[in-house]
Amino acid sequence: MKKFLLALSILTVATLFGCKEAKNEAAKPTKVTVMIYSEYIDPDMITDFEKQTGYKLQIELYEAQEEMISKLQTVGTAQYDVIIASDVVIQQMIHLGLIGKIDMEKIPNKTNIADQFKNPSYDPTNEYTVPYLWGTTGILYRDSTIDPMNVSYSMLFDAKNTKGNFSLLEESRSMLSMALQAKGFNANSTSKDEINQAVEYILQAKKDPHFLGFDGSVGGKDKVLSKMDWAAIVFNGEAMAAIDEDSTLQFAIPTEGSFMWVDAMTLSSKAPNPDGAYKFMNYILDGKIGAQLAKYINYATPNTKALEFLDKDFTENRVINPTAEEIKRMVFLQDPGDAARLFDEAWTIVKTR
C-alpha cells in the first residue's frame, strides 16, 4: 500500500510539474507586435526577422501621431511591444506612461548609432528611445519650372500663388509649426499670439477652393502622383518614392524653413514580449538591415554601419539627405511643455472652422 501511495505521489508530482511546464511553454510569447507608420518597413524584413528570431512579427499601422497616441490611450499599451514614434511626442508619451525605459544592454548593435543621435533633447539620458530613421518635411509639387531651392509656403497659403489643388499635413504640431515658420516665427514658439496667427494662416488656406483637405504623408503623396493634387506637404521619404515613379515631380524645403525629425523605436510600457522587442530593435540596428531599411523607405539612416552599405546615389541625394543650405533652414521640434494645451486648442480650431 505504501509503495502504491508513494508511486501515486510521484505520479501526481510529475503530472503537476508537467502541467506547469506545459502552461509556461504555452505562455511564452510567440510574436512581436510593432506599432508603426504605414509603408514604413520593407516587407522582406518581416520575413527575415521571423526566420532569424523565431518570432512572428505583427505590424499595426497608424497615419498620424495624434491617432497613435489616442489609440494607445484607448486600447492600452499591453497589445504592443515596440512603438515607433516621432521625436516631438516622446516626452508626452513618457508623461502619459505609454512607454517604458529600455535596457540598452540587451541591444548590442546600439554601438552603430551615430553620435549625433545620442543624448537627444527628447531623450537626454538615452533611456527611452532607439533611433529608427530620420528625415524632413516639405512640399511635393508638380511643376518642373519652379526651382525647389526657392519655394515659399505662399504657394499653398496664398490663393493668388496656388496653381492647383493641394493638401496639408494631418499632424497638428507639424502643421502648426510649419505655419509658424511661414509667418516668420520660430517653429517652437509657445506664444499664444503667434500660434493664433499660424491658425489664421491655415484657415486662410482652407478657404482656397483648391484646398482638398488634410492628409497623412502617404495620402498626400498618392494624391500628387495621381494628379488629384498639384502639391502636398509630405515627408521626404514619401516625396522620394513619388519622384522615383514620376521624375517630373519636385520636393522643396521652403525658404521660410521647416524641421528635421527622428522617428524612434520605443518600448511599450506594458509590452507583453520585451525580449522580442529588444530583438527587433537590435535587428533594425544591424548595418546591412539598416541600409536595406533606409534604401527601401527612402529616409536617411542614423546607423553609421549602414552607411558602409549605401552607395553615393543614395547618400548624395538631396531629397533624402538635405544639403547644408537646406539644413540651415531647419530645426528640430521641441516638447512644448505646458504650451501643448495651446497647440491642442489651436488644432481644434483649425479642424472645426
DSSP letter string over 24-61?
HHHHS--EEEEEEETT-S-HHHHHHHHHHHS-EEEEEE
Q: Is 171 left (phi over 0), alpha (psi -120 to 50) or beta?
A: beta
| Strand spans (E) along 191-246 | 211-215, 231-235
Amino acid sitting at position 181: Q
Amino acid of residue 207: K
Nearest to 221 by CA among 205, 206, 243, 254: 243
Cell of 273: 514580449
Domain ranges of the chain: 29-132+260-320, 135-258+329-350
Residue 87, CA distances (Å) to 102, 266, 330 in order = 16, 11, 15
Query: What is residue 22's predicted lDDT score, i.e. its pLDDT?
Result: 46
Fold of the domain built from segment(s) 135-258+329-350: D-Maltodextrin-Binding Protein; domain 2 (3.40.190)
Cα distance between residue 106 and residue 343, in whole Å: 37
Q: pTM for this one? A: 0.85
Per-block average pLDDT, block size 10, for the chain (353 residues)? 44 50 64 96 98 98 92 97 96 96 98 95 95 98 95 95 96 96 97 98 97 96 98 96 97 96 98 98 98 96 97 95 93 90 97 96
C-alpha cell at 171: 499632424
Residue 150 DSSP SS3: helix
Quick one: pLDDT at residue 299?
A: 96
Question: What is the CATH class of 29-132+260-320?
Answer: alpha beta
Is 39 marked within a binding site? Answer: yes
**Does this chain's domain 29-132+260-320 share its CATH topology with 135-258+329-350?**
yes
Residue 208, burial from CB neighbour count under 10 angstroms (0-12, 13-18, 19+): middle
Can you tell me which residue has the cell 510539474? Answer: 17
3-state SS assignment for residue 281: helix
